[in-house]
Structure 1
Amino acid sequence: MSETQTHRDIPLKRRTLYFQNIDQILEEADRLASGDYQKCADWSLGQNCHHLATWMVMCMDGLPHFPMILRILIRAVFNKDKILQKGFKPGMNVRGKLKKLEPTSDITDETGLEALHKAVERFRHEPKLPAHPLLGKMSDDDWLQLHLRHAEHHLGMIHPM
């Protein structure tokens, strides 16, 4: 399980993934961890897994508070149903409070993968928050769809070799 950097004339593009259940997230992460991989963005497999785990746990433990004006603007720009069905667009630049939630460079693949496995286990059994601070009311299935789309986005940036 290691990251391989190669010099290519054409940069890798994000893979298109589609997860239908939470087990598929773990299966893909474990598959990627079982061999060498290339990344098409800045984060390693471990950092991506840790990021996914952090956000998954927050839907149970609580998310950062956002000012009302920001919540209104985000809800006007982001369509919850579209995100839950079609996923995230690449290139989102995180600032402010959310910047603190980015994984650090010292997170290993093993550490990130372990965090993801623990988060998924909690997600299976614990109650979720009734609302997302930026997307509004969320059912348990909405939370699941959000995490599936989020994992497609991040694990799609890792290419098995």
Structure 2
Amino acid sequence: MSDLRQLQFNNLEAAVDDARQLLASGYVRHGNWSLGQICRHLVLVQDPSVDGYPVWMSLFAPLRPLVRRLLLPKVLSGDSPRGIRTAPMFVPPNGLVDANEVEAFAASVTRLLNHSGSFAPHPGFGRLPREKILEIHTAHAAHHLRHLRAEGDSD
């Protein structure tokens, strides 16, 4: 998988910067989604941290301790499992305008960072401290954005 970038962000602002740089330079896809689709997916997954997740997602609550122990360390280390199907509500449509979606991602990140209340329990990992939720979203952004490489970037 040498086409994938080795990517790790220190924070969500760095993920926004990366998305904006890809938008400015143009990019080559090494995955299924465009930059716009990745940014829409990130918004769809991030916003429920503030707004709450659908009730049906709490059906998985009994599995959270196991998932938190087995999967969370992999997610945070940048070793997220690939090829796991996401819930249809988190799948972005085709035909999105990259520039619009990059800015929507930036706005979602700002909203997340400015949120002063507690975050909704994560469907897979349960209730976590603010720093851990932000760390999960940061790792998730790197997981997806690594599938795009700037035009002319051969690293």
> What TM-score comes out, normalization by structure 1 length?
0.81
Name whichever of 79-88 and 142-151 sits farther off.
79-88
Look up the match of 2:47.
57
Distance 1:82 1:17, change over 3 A: same
What number of residue pairs does the alignment pair up? 147
Alignment deviations for residues 102-125 of structure 1 (CA, whole Å, 9 cap, x no partner): 110021101210110110110111
Say whether the 8 Å CA contact 2:42–2:105 is kept in structure 1: yes
Return 5+ residue gaps in structure 1 as ranges: 1-10
Look up the match of 2:98.
109
Name whichever of 55-64 and 82-91 sits farther off.
82-91
Name the aligned partner's letter for residue 159 of structure 1. R
Look up the match of 1:125.
114
Name the aligned partner's letter for residue 99 of structure 1. P
**What RMSD over aligned residues (CA atoms) do the two structures have, in Å?**
2.0
Look up the match of 2:23.
33
Residue 101 of structure 1, CA deviation: 1.9
Name the aligned partner's letter for residue 158 of structure 1. L
More strand by share: 1
1: CA distance, partners of 2:45 / 2:84: 15
1:83 aligns to 2:83 (yes or no): no
1:131 is paired with a residue whose SS is coil
Say whether the 8 Å CA contact 1:60–1:129 is kept in structure 2: yes
Return 5+ residue gaps in structure 2 as ranges: none
1:27 is paired with a residue whose SS is helix
